[in-house]
Chains A and B, each alone.
Chain A
Amino acid sequence: MNLVIATHIKKTFGDTIAVDDVSLSIAPGEIYGLVGSDGAGKTTTLRLLVGALKADAGEIAVCGKDVRRQGELARACIGYLSQRFSLYEDLTVLENIRFFAEMRGLKQDEWLPRCMEILDFVGLAGFKDRRAGQLSGGMKQKLGLASALVTQPRVLLLDEPTTGVDPVTRQDFWQLVIRIASPTPHPSPDGKEAGGEGVAVILTTPYMDEASRCHRVGFMRGGKIIAEGSPSDLRATLEGRILEVRDHSLSTLRKAVGKIKGVEDVRAFGDKLHLRVRPGRAESVIAALADAFPTRAGSRLEARLIPPTLEDVFIMLSEKSD
């Protein structure tokens, strides 16, 4: 059974349609990325799923519970890390997570072993007595994640979890998220989890390198999901259409490629250009480039097909929907 099922949900704020007929279905063990610009409707979608906002239309079921009618039951199986999660800076790491544990109804004899287990899992056990205010940005992020995990949720919602976090920390954070989602029960090796099925994770991000780590991605724009699929399926839609071109003079090259037939889009990247060409036109474009730049002394025109990135897909989709 899929842990999150949203059908045709809609939310308006005044004249603004924030979420427009969105349907989602997320399986246990799946990491689903809601990707889009600021204001695309990502955060509102998460808030609808968690029940913090009421949808104007549509149905949402989380772990089989209707968010509208069985809100408490639905929320009991959700862990939610909001964009501006608040930690008590003058409390220690353990006191912070204890607060969340008790708020979520964990009993006296339950909270300590549970909290230690989770702190151990996120790598903060050694810092349990440090005040949250003294933690680095990455550690704060992990404490936020630990707090969201304290009830052993079957659904984890993360709103832009790594915005402003450096690459090494981001790598660590992702290893944790992937472990949480993977079917081996973690961080609860006690076997209480039903069948050891993985957690369903939904996260939002504006970054494509982040999106590419998800099992499935939904591109949001103007409140709608305009494309959905695994990163490799989405990339496959542009297979054979992205060329990388280098030359000693980028500016001449840039002017020239604009005139070549079959080139849909040109993007500069430091010392090279990426071209998106119409389907089936890669060879003719490469030939046209060779004509426009006959071999000469000092010339080093290189053109090759490269695998499309999610960023290429995102930009193409954005153009389409404008």
Chain B
Amino acid sequence: MTTPIILTENLTRRFGDFTAVDHVNFTVDAGEIVGYLGPNGCGKTTTIRMLLGLLEPSEGRATVLGFDAFRQSEEVRARVGYMSQKFALYDDLTVLENLTFYGGVYSLHDPQRVDKTLALVGLAGHERELVRALSAGWRQRLALAIALVHQPKLLFLDEPTSGVDPTARRAFWDLIYELAAGGVTVLVTTHYMDEAEYCGRVGIMRDGRLLAMDTPAALKASVIPGEVWEVHTQPLEAALSSLAQADGVLRVGLAGDHLRVITRAGLGAKALKSMVQAHGGALSRRVEPVETMSKGPVPERVERGEPTLEDVFLSLAK
């Protein structure tokens, strides 16, 4: 059996009374792409900083590429790449100058390596362009090139595609898949569900604890406690408040022009429809057009919805 690329055992970090990371256990194997999902302040960044050897664990330990993350942090950092969400690029330098500079930080003075990295991320031909003239998508690629220039075996990506559109994101992920196929292991933190869908496994963190870690499909199957429905009805607010109190409804939320409802398994569309109608009496207090006031909300359409990672997240987060 090969050693995992990342292994944490009861990894814990306290700041005074506050436990930022609370007994976290997980392993990541070579070539895996693992997402780490959670709200701001949930402990994602503290975890990464411990894995990079920048912070000492208060309890437990982490090994990265077989090294103790804190006591052998030099060895770790020489072998991992880190792309931060707020990556620092020099706006008034060119693409090539930026990459050469960061290569120098890793004592790397091989111009061929720099060229290869630029080609890998698809920036060949753009060497002389000033960074300030690049679009968000291209800047992202340059930041990735900087994280890759020393050929790391493990890559940390902190919200790598924040603010870029689906086409650029997709191009970025195609690259990540190529890297992973070449044996690079990738750990991605994100709070975008779209992004988490690209990962092989996803860990969900909240209040310092790792609540679950599995493939997106397995998380959807195991965490979502029932069935997902899209309910199209008017008026929305009335239906929302009546469903929120209804038996068998686990969660209901506004989703633009309709409601997204999670019911316990086996409740069925018919029961859901009648629930929306049954609570029509509660409407009379509200200012509504005359036609709907008497009848209560009429469900125009009740359809099965696809569970999303957002549903998983919200189910775990409450």
Residues of chain A touching chain B, judged by Cβ–Cβ distance below 8 Å, are 31, 36-40, 136-138, 160, 163-169, 171, 174-175, 178-179, 182-185, 196, 206-209, 212-215, 230-231, 251, 267-272, 306-307, 311, 314-315, 318
Contacts and interface: CB of A to CB of B under 8 A. Distances in A.
A167 B314 contact: yes
A32 to B, nearest CB: 11
Given A207-B194, A268-B198, A171 B164 contact: no
B170 A315 contact: yes
Contact of B165 (A36, A165, A171, A271): A36
B274 to A, nearest CB: 24
B137 A271 contact: no
A38 B136 contact: yes
Contact of A184 (B163, B164, B287): B287
B229 to A, nearest CB: 14
Contacts of B137: 37-38
Give the residue among B41, B166, B216, B314 with the most A Cβ atoms within 10 A: B166
A270 B217 CA distance: 10
Contacts of A208: 166, 194
B187 to A, nearest CB: 14
Interface string B258-287: 000000000000000000000000000011
B173 interface: yes
A178 B177 contact: no
Give the residue among A38, A185, A315 with the most B Cβ atoms within 10 A: A38
B181 interface: yes
A38 B165 contact: yes
B2 interface: no
Given A209-B308, A269-B197, 19 more contacts: A37-B165, A38-B136, A38-B165, A136-B41, A163-B162, A165-B191, A166-B40, A167-B39, A167-B191, A169-B40, A179-B237, A184-B237, A213-B255, A231-B256, A270-B33, A272-B217, A307-B306, A311-B194, A314-B166
Nearest to B288: A184
- Enumerate the 6 nearest inter-chain pairs by beta-carbon distance, A residue then B residue, closest first: A166-B39, A37-B165, A213-B256, A38-B136, A178-B254, A166-B191
A37 B216 CA distance: 26
B107 interface: no
A68 to B, nearest CB: 31
A183 B192 CA distance: 30
A168 B39 contact: yes
19 contacts: A36-B165, A37-B135, A37-B137, A37-B167, A38-B135, A38-B136, A40-B165, A167-B191, A167-B310, A168-B317, A179-B254, A184-B286, A206-B166, A209-B194, A268-B198, A269-B198, A269-B216, A270-B201, A315-B170
A166 to B, nearest CB: 3
A42 B162 CA distance: 17
A196 B287 contact: yes
B168 interface: yes
B111 interface: no
Contacts of A163: 162-163
